[in-house]
Amino acid sequence: ASLPLGTRLPEQQDVSAFAAIPSDHQLRGIVHHVASFGAYVLAVDPVTSKTAWGIVHLTELPEGCSLQPGTEVNVRVTAVDIELGRLTFSMQADQGSFAQSDGAALVGLGSSVEDPIKAEAPPD
């Protein structure tokens, strides 16, 4: 899956669907771009199939993790700010890391989850 790079991420987005997701649930996502402080990821809510952008801070990346735009990853929601429309993700797990998506341990994996990520273009 490739995402058009050079587009701006939204300043405001509806992240309310992500507030009910337990922090131990893994979500499927795609890295949009990498910055000095972490990575921006587009993730899918497995129940509603809504997508939203969030950040994975460097401190929430598994040790030795190297990300590039377009990389499929698994993330956990660690913070939701509905008022500001912001999500914070982690790629660390209690029992090992899950940086690269292998499709086996994803919540809600199926056509309804896969399609929104591949079809979603970054907002202008």
Please give the average per-residue pLDDT across 19-47, as a whole number: 91
What pLDDT band is residue 111 in, cutting at 50, 70 and 90? very low
User: For the chain, how are helix, strand and coil distributed in percent, rounded to 5?
Assistant: 10, 30, 55
Please give the average per-residue pLDDT across 98-112, as a whole number: 34
Question: Is the Cα dihedral 19, 20, 25, 27 positive or negative?
Answer: negative
Calpha distance 89→79 (Å, rounded): 7
Which pLDDT does position 65 carry in this prediction? 84
Q: CB neighbours (10 Å) of residue 64?
A: 7
44 has pLDDT over 80 = yes
What pLDDT band is residue 12 in, cutting at 50, 70 and 90? confident
Q: Is the distance from CB of 28 to CB of 72 less than 8 angstroms?
A: yes
112 has pLDDT over 90 = no
Q: Is the distance from CB of 53 to CB of 69 less than 8 angstroms?
A: no
Which pLDDT does position 88 carry in this prediction? 96
Does residue 47 or residue 95 have the better pLDDT? 47
